[in-house]
Chains A and B, each alone.
Chain A
Amino acid sequence: MRKVLTLARRELSAYFFSPMAYVVAFLFLLTVGMLFLWGLKVPFLKIRIEPVFRTGAESTLRPLFDVLAYGLVIVVPLLTMRLMAEEFRSGTIETLMTAPVTDTDVIGGKFLGAMALYLLLLAATGVFFLLVVIFGQPDWGVAGMGYLGMILLGASYVSVGLFASTLTGHQLVAGLIGIAILAFFTAGLYLLVLVLPGSYGDAISRANMINNFSYFPKGVLDARSVVFFITITAFFLFLSVKVLESRRWR
């Protein structure tokens, strides 16, 4: 476990040395800020999100979280694509895997490192919540549930992104694979439900990450969704370990 933390710390500090993390963080916070103050209107897609921060609005970050759940489909893979792909490309995988650490340690460390950065980004949205607190009376339980949902959703996104990164030595390819998998589990399944008849559709919509997430910002704690996200995260971490193992046999 100590080795996992050592790896995680190095991973987190490596983020702060790479411009990518700053660029992504900047865009992320810019988007959040704009949504918060101005909302989002895309007339031809019939998307209309009122600004979160306006008089008479519900004092909650819920609309923000709903948009972020989709936005993170792109943001998280951009942050995680480096994790393993860069080790493969630069050859540091050789020094890493010949140190007395297991494959599980490595994947665990990478996951926690990336998760730590994600949590920092999420914590930065606390500024907006603070404004809501100052100018309104938010329901703390609902807000807490929203953040819990964001953490669970983030964990499963990060594990998918990490898995994509174990597949290739090219960061960009890893990023695209990650985005593709996440897009499938969110928008992809949403579209599939529209096509398929009733009972299938119901089953499929339960596998949709966004659907599972949507309960949280409303303040509903659904055990199924909690289990769903934990399962997804564990599953993709498991796959990552297996891919890392299998790389040696080639």
Chain B
Amino acid sequence: MIEVKKLTKWYGRTLAVDNISFHVKDGSVVGFLGPNAAGKTTTLRILTCFMPATSGSAKVQGFDVFTQSVEVRKRVGYMPENAPLYPEMRVREYLMFRAALRGIPGQQRRKAVDRAAEQCWLSKPESMMHRRIDQLSRGYRQRVGLADCLLHDPPVLVLDEPTIGLDPAQVREMRNLVRQLGENHTIVLSSHILAEVEQVCGEIIIIAAGRIAAEGTPAELRRRVTGPSRVIIELRGEQPETMAKVLAEVPGVVDVQHARAGNWTRLTVQGPEDDDLRPAVAQAAMQKGYSLRELRREISSLEDFFIQITYQQSMGAASPAGAEAS
């Protein structure tokens, strides 16, 4: 369990994290989503005791990250961005070193290394374990970093941008791996790619300009996005204003806007929430004998939502994260 209360971090005169509070339940996989420099890494670094917060508190598994730092470190596996490793060491040598650092007793070290390596699919060709780290591909290096996190079998994993810099196949592997680990670990990971967080995480915390812009399950967030239903229709037949008036009379329609699209008129019909206006709108157009070129329901993606709220935040707009996507 992770409990963060009013966490704030200043770097000199720059505010990196601004009064963040959140809660991560045991066994959940939470994604920190935000553009670069939003404060994701800073938050994770505070959670993993790499640096202290300026104010506020954070507890991991009931231990305070500042006053009980060593206890927290024993219970957290942290993979920093880019998984920094010692390039001159060999994989097994590195993992054995890390196991010793984590206080795993001598007899159990080998076992712990083998288990972690297997979990991260590092052990398949045995030769992999004897390779020098600087000769490994990015994907493998990332796996070594992850194996390092798993050595002491921590209940909490903190992964900073686990897929950054990987090729698409490696990204998919890493995601599967995280999903698999999520079955019996509490995981906090950060990413700036929405699709990734959406696939892997049960909960998303969107962070922008040091603040939490939105949080919830992917489904909850999506509901906020696709709030009122909107239908886009392109027609030809009468003056735009007349056609707009006709559509406005369709039952359930709240608002109609029109714009020219070449010889055609493009109308945006706003309806109530969770109601599909397409059949009614099409029928109204048919009755008037308009020619119809396009008819679709506008579903703004979570991606739009993400971009929009992070954009709002970074522009300093005070308005709450709205659901309307352009």
Contact = CB atoms under 8 A, between A and B. Distances in A.
B84 A10 contact: no
Interface string B41-64: 000010011111000000000000
B100 interface: yes
B184 to A, nearest CB: 21
A102 B103 CA distance: 13
Interface string A1-34: 0110011001000100110000000000000000
Contacts of B103: 2-3, 100
Contact of A99 (B73, B81, B87, B145): B73
A92 interface: yes
Given A6-B101, A250-B12, A95 B70 contact: no
Contacts of B85: 92, 95
A142 B120 CA distance: 58
Contacts of B145: 95
B12 A94 contact: no
A100 B102 contact: yes
A249 B51 contact: yes
A95 B11 contact: no
A171 B79 CA distance: 25
Interface in A73-114: 90-92, 94-102
A216 B80 CA distance: 48
B116 to A, nearest CB: 14
A96 B145 CA distance: 12
Contacts of A90: 84, 86-87
Contacts, number: 69
A89 B50 CA distance: 16
Contacts of A99: 73, 98, 101-102
A48 interface: no
A102 B101 CA distance: 11
Given A94-B45, A250-B11, A7 B101 contact: yes
A16 to B, nearest CB: 9
Nearest to A91: B84
B84 A95 contact: yes
B76 interface: yes
A133 B279 CA distance: 106
Nearest to B85: A92
Given A97-B50, A99-B102, A14 B86 contact: yes
B102 A91 contact: no
A2 B76 CA distance: 21
B161 interface: no
B50 A98 contact: yes
B26 interface: no
A51 B51 CA distance: 55
A17 B134 CA distance: 12
B264 interface: no
Contacts of B50: 94, 97-98, 248
Interface in B85-116: 85-89, 97-98, 100-103
Contacts of A10: 86, 89, 97
Contacts of A18: 88
Nearest to B11: A250
Nearest to B12: A250
A101 B80 CA distance: 17
Given A100-B70, A100-B73, A95 B78 contact: yes
A95 B148 contact: yes
B257 interface: no
B82 interface: yes
Contacts of B23: none
A249 B82 CA distance: 23
Contacts of B80: 91, 94-95, 98
Contacts of A100: 70, 73-74, 101-103
A98 B48 contact: yes
A-B interface, 3 closest residue pairs, ranked by CB to CB distance from nearest: A91-B84, A17-B88, A94-B80
13 contacts: A3-B103, A10-B89, A14-B86, A90-B84, A90-B86, A91-B84, A94-B45, A95-B78, A99-B73, A99-B101, A100-B103, A249-B52, A250-B12
Given A91-B82, A98-B48, 4 more contacts: A10-B97, A94-B50, A100-B102, A102-B70
